[in-house]
């Protein structure tokens, strides 16, 4: 590949690739994101290649392996263009049929179609699926049309045109003004206006300046950044290039977790390809602008997602946050001005430059603009990665996109913003997804985790789970976070074990407030959110634990008791076989009994029983 | 000549050289902000959070540690607002529950108004203030001590748990440690924990004249900065 030196070169490359794609009669897009790889897309890919070769279709049909499409629970996914035919749960055995029927004769295989769990109807076209329909996938949507390991694919879809526009017709101040006007705010959780951050960093004294992409995503159950970096690394690189040009930075880093092997691999491939084309390195596109990016792998400490800890870690020291009275835009990596943004923030930049600030600002609420990616998980019908306009209500996300509860149970709460977000009850589901509105309600947008819980979840237990995670991930530098969280966990464990008192609940609240007020970094400052929000919205549950020694959801082991309903038990013996602790006894076809001394309250018998004869009280 | 800036701490106009921390400026002026991990001459790290203050800017206030906060012209600092006092008291309560046998920690707790401790005592031997680690690497350029582990496993240790050859045996780590000095009438036994309370008299003085720095002698060898050798 020869280096690109002008817009014409870039256009030529884009046209060449488009012509290549048009030569194919069909394009099969196979999701090869981490989720689909786990559900077995790679054998499917191999057998699809073999089958096409065998049938002599390899020249006519193109296979495109892409990053995550978002609907991971349905994986491995396949979309066949033209027609947007959507197949899910594809197995190797299905491949010959797909090639023969759908690719050969344009017939749709009903068995592989998606069935909408709400209506029970089959949907064959991807865009008609309710999960996708209610979304606005301006970033994630690109994943479907781009092979992350081929820079030409990105260029054919308008990639790097924003960089050309910036280098040829815009001044750094103009770019910053554009970003400020768009209202883009940090997508990593802080929500700080990106344009202002760039402006501070540009104005800061010191050289060289650095630009960092924060891909150290550590929230349990969240994989937004991972999927963007895996599926569309060039968008992130282009965003960083534009940012670096605006700020006047010379070097960049992508700090990505080592636990994300595919993201590391794809970003490294993307960097090499961009460098080959002269889009990275010295004198980019023949201008004076020089910029390079390196990939740095993180060791998996949650706290290293905090900007100052990340920079210290990048320097090769122990990743601990430092006080941010002096902003990292003035003194960051190596004590030099450093601008750090999240993966999603960077990925938003090229489209803002291409489509204009007004386009971006037309989406969202008064203060929160654009779209946001969430990892929707929990007790709902449809789970996966979603991208929605800011300002959409939680109810729309949970019921329209998520499809509502899946086993007839009532949805009780949603936890937004990752482990240090808060739990919001059903009454607050009409809240818009907006930085300010969610913070006011005691939660946060955060980096984008969204866990939906139904009646079977005990909110005290949920708070305890997240507290445990955060205590484990606290760096231990400051007292409120290290000691405060361990004290909170001590108290909440007492409550779930039936040793809670009113005074302890008061102390829990006091401690939580101190931790959120006085901690050094954002990890500590937001860590009490799960506890404070559950006390705020689900106080009755705490009181049931404390006053009545009862866990309403039947989760806290020390407060529940398993017994067998004699009317429902028909003595089938399923529970007896399933119990790993030999706590169930009874003759065949006679009512069984649970021995309280041996019962470990694991709940396996309840799952095994088909007659709802096991009662938890 | 260093440049001076003027800032307001608790309503008092304080003049301090550029680059000083708010905590040092307050102490020099005579406003006592309780503190534990801070020591003049070594880099502040803001670990104990006892010295937290509120900084008011554009009608909004943020809470931060005063030891790591540099003075700025026109800065408005509240070191004894109700919010701060409540949080500081709670932090001191946590600290004294961690290490009830330390006279220094007890004194700090008393200064912060802790009269009873609601947490069960833990009898830790270290509160991770990092004075020893910083003094060893910064004053003595020795780096014989360091933090090991993360979160609840964090502790101070020698390299490979052996005294290294480059240790200068200066004993600064022991002299500066708030845990090594326990001049309370006998260390506390398990189950009989109570606050020492020997500086109760100083406390009442502090309550009567809250603006002046009482020489609270935060444990022998752990003086209030006015008595420390690092105070010029």
Residue B209 pLDDT exceeds 60: no
DSSP string, A468-527: HHHHHH----SHIIIIIHHHHHHHHHHHHTT---HHHHHHHHHHHHHHHHH-SSHHHHHT
> Which CATH class name applies to A459-547?
mainly alpha
* Residue reference for tokens 């027609």: A83
Q: Which residues of A touch B149 (CB under 8 A)?
A: 476
Which CATH number is correct for B131-175, 3.40.190.80, 3.40.50.300, 3.30.70.20, 3.20.20.30? 3.30.70.20
Q: Which residue ranges in chain A fall short of pLDDT 70?
A: 1
Three-class SS of residue A40? coil
Kind and range of the H or E element at A280? none
> Residue B8: how many CB atoms within 10 A of its CB?
14
- What per-residue confidence (pLDDT) applies to A237? 96
- What per-residue confidence (pLDDT) applies to A598? 87
Q: Which residues of B touch A479 (CB under 8 A)?
A: 47-50, 91, 94-95, 127-128
Residue with the larger pLDDT of the pair B30 and A577: A577
Q: How confident is the model at residue B207 (pLDDT cuts 50, 70, 90)?
A: low
- What per-residue confidence (pLDDT) applies to B189? 57
Q: pLDDT tens, A269-298?
A: 999 999 999 999 999 988 899 999 999 999
CATH code, residues A561-616: 3.30.70.20
CATH code, residues B4-121+182-227: 3.10.20.740
Contact criterion met (CB < 8 Å) for A520 and B70: no
Mention every residue, 6+ apart, whose C-beta is less than 8 A from residue B181.
Answer: B102, B103, B104, B219, B220, B221, B222
> Residue A577: how many CB atoms within 10 A of its CB?
10
- What per-residue confidence (pLDDT) applies to B206? 55
- What per-residue confidence (pLDDT) applies to B225? 36
Is the distance from CB of A430 to CB of A402 less than 8 angstroms? no
- What per-residue confidence (pLDDT) applies to B34? 86
Q: pLDDT tens, A532-546?
A: 999 999 999 999 999
Q: What is the mean pLDDT of residues B140-149?
A: 92
Query: Which range is least confidently modeled, A106-110, B4-8, B220-224?
Result: B220-224
- What per-residue confidence (pLDDT) applies to A3? 79
Q: What is the mean pLDDT of residues B43-58?
A: 93
- What per-residue confidence (pLDDT) applies to A83? 86
User: What is A21-135's CATH topology?
Assistant: Glutaredoxin (3.40.30)
Using the Cβ of B108 and the Cβ atoms of chain A, whether some distance falls under 8 Å is answered with: no
Contact criterion met (CB < 8 Å) for A476 and B153: yes
Question: Where are the domain boundaries for CATH 3.10.20.740 in chain B?
Answer: 4-121+182-227
Maximal CA-CA distance, chain A: 86
Three-class SS of residue A339? strand
**To the nearest whole number, what is the mean pLDDT of chain B?**
80
Q: A229-262 in b/e burial notation, b at 16+ Cβ within 10 A?
A: bbbbbbbbbbbbbbbbbbbbbebbbbbbbeebeb
Burial class (CB in 10 A: 0-12, 13-18, 19+), A23: exposed
Q: pLDDT tens, A34-72?
A: 999 999 999 999 999 999 999 888 888 999 999 999 999
For residue B112, the distance in angstroms to the closest alpha carbon of chain A comes to 14
Which CATH number is correct for A149-361, 3.40.50.11540, 3.30.470.20, 3.40.50.2300, 3.40.50.1370? 3.40.50.11540
- What per-residue confidence (pLDDT) applies to A401? 93
Q: pLDDT tens, A136-177?
A: 999 999 999 999 999 999 999 999 999 999 999 999 999 999
Residues of A near B (CB-CB distance < 8 A)?
A: 301, 303, 318, 322-323, 325-326, 471-480, 482-484, 486-487, 490, 503, 507, 510-511, 513-514, 517-520
The count of residues in chain A is 617
User: What is A371-454's CATH topology?
Assistant: Ubiquitin-like (UB roll) (3.10.20)
Is the distance from CB of A503 to CB of A488 less than 8 angstroms? no
The count of residues in chain B is 232
- What per-residue confidence (pLDDT) applies to B230? 42
d(CA A529, CA A535) in angstroms, rounded, equals 10
- CA A229 to each of CA A36, A296, A346: distance values in angstroms, whole numbers, following the listed order: 16, 14, 10
- What per-residue confidence (pLDDT) applies to B232? 34
- What per-residue confidence (pLDDT) applies to B231? 36
Three-class SS of residue A210? strand
Domain range list for chain A: 21-135, 149-361, 371-454, 459-547, 561-616
């Amino acid at each position: 590949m020869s280096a690109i030196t002008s817009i014409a070169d870039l256009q030529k490359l884009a046209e060449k690739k488009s012509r290549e794609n048009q030569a194919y009669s069909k394009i099969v897009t196979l999701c090869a994101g981490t989720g689909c790889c786990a559900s077995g897309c790679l054998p499917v890919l191999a057998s699809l290649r073999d089958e096409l070769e065998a049938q002599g279709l390899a020249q006519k049909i193109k296979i495109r392996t892409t990053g995550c499409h978002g609907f991971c629970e349905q994986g491995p996914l396949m979309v066949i263009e033209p027609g947007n035919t959507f197949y899910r749960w594809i197995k190797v055995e299905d491949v010959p049929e797909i090639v023969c029927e759908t690719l050969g004769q344009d017939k749709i295989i009903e068995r592989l179609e998606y069935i909408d769990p709400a209506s029970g109807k089959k949907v064959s076209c991807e865009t008609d699926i309710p999960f996708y329909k209610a979304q606005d996938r301006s970033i994630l949507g690109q994943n479907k049309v781009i092979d992350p390991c081929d820079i030409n694919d990105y260029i054919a879809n308008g990639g790097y045109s924003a960089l050309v526009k910036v280098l040829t017709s815009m001044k750094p101040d103009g770019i910053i003004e554009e970003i400020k006007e768009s209202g883009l705010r940090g997508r990593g959780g802080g929500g700080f206006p990106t344009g202002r951050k760039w402006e501070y960093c540009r104005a800061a004294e010191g050289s060289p300046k650095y630009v960092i992409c924060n891909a150290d995503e550590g929230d349990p159950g969240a994989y937004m950044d991972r999927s963007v970096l895996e599926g569309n690394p060039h968008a992130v690189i282009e965003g960083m290039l534009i940012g670096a040009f605006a700020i006047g930075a010379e070097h960049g880093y992508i700090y990505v977790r080592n636990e994300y092997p595919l993201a590391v691999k794809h970003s490294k491939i993307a960097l090499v390809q961009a460098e080959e084309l002269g889009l990275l390195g010295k004198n980019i596109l023949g201008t004076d602008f020089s910029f390079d990016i390196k990939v740095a792998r993180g060791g998996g400490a949650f706290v290293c997602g905090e900007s100052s800890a990340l920079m210290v870690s990048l320097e090769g020291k122990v990743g601990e946050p430092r006080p941010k009275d002096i902003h990292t835009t003035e003194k960051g990596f190596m004590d030099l001005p450093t601008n750090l943004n999240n993966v999603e923030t960077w990925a938003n930049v090229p489209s803002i430059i291409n489509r204009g600030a007004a386009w971006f600002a037309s989406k969202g609420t008064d203060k929160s603009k654009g779209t946001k990616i969430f990892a929707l998980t929990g007790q709902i019908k449809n789970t996966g990665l979603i991208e929605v306009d800011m300002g959409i209500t939680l109810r729309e996300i949970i019921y329209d996109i998520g499809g509502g509860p899946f086993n007839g149970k009532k949805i009780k709460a949603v936890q937004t913003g990752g482990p240090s977000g808060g739990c919001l009850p059903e009454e607050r589901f009409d809240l818009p997804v907006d930085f300010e509105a969610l913070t006011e309600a005691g939660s946060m947008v955060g980096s984008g985790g969204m866990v939906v819980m139904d009646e079977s979840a005990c909110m005290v237990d949920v708070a305890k789970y997240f507290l445990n995670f955060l205590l484990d991930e606290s760096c231990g530098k400051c007292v409120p976070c290290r000691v405060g969280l361990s004290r909170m966990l001590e108290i909440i464990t007492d409550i779930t074990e039936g040793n809670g008192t009113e005074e302890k609940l008061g102390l829990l609240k006091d401690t939580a407030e101190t931790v959120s007020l006085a901690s050094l970094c954002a990890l500590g400052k937001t860590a009490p959110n799960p506890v404070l929000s559950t006390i705020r919205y689900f106080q009755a549950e705490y009181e049931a634990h404390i006053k009545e020694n009862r866990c309403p959801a039947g989760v806290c082991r020390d407060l529940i008791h398993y017994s067998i309903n004699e009317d429902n038990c028909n003595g089938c013996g399923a529970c007896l076989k399933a119990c790993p602790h030999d706590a169930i006894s009874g003759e065949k076809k006679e009512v069984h009994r649970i021995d309280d001394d041996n019962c470990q309250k694991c709940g396996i018998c309840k799952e095994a029983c088909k007659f709802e004869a096991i009662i938890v009280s | 000549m260093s440049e001076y800036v003027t800032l307001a701490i608790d309503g008092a106009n304080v003049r301090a050289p550029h680059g000083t921390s708010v905590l040092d400026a307050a102490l020099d002026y005579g406003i006592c902000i309780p503190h534990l991990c801070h020591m003049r001459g070594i880099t502040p790290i803001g670990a104990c959070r006892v010295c937290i203050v509120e900084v008011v800017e554009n009608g909004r206030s943020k809470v931060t540690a005063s030891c790591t906060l540099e003075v700025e012209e026109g800065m408005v600092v509240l070191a004894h607002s109700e919010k701060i006092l409540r949080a500081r008291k709670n932090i001191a309560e946590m600290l004294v529950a961690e290490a009830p046998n330390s006279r220094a920690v007890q004194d700090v707790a008393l200064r912060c108004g802790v009269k009873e401790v609601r947490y069960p005592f833990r009898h830790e031997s270290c509160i991770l203030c990092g004075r020893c680690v910083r003094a060893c690497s910064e004053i003595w350029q020795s780096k014989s001590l360091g933090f090991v582990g993360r979160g609840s496993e964090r502790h101070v240790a020698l390299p490979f748990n052996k005294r290294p050859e480059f240790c200068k045996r200066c004993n600064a780590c022991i002299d500066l440690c708030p845990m090594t000095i326990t001049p309370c009438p006998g260390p506390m036994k398990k189950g009989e924990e109570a606050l020492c309370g020997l500086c109760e008299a100083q406390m009442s003085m502090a309550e009567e004249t809250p603006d002046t720095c009482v020489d609270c002698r935060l444990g022998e060898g752990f003086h209030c900065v006015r008595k420390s050798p690092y105070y010029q």
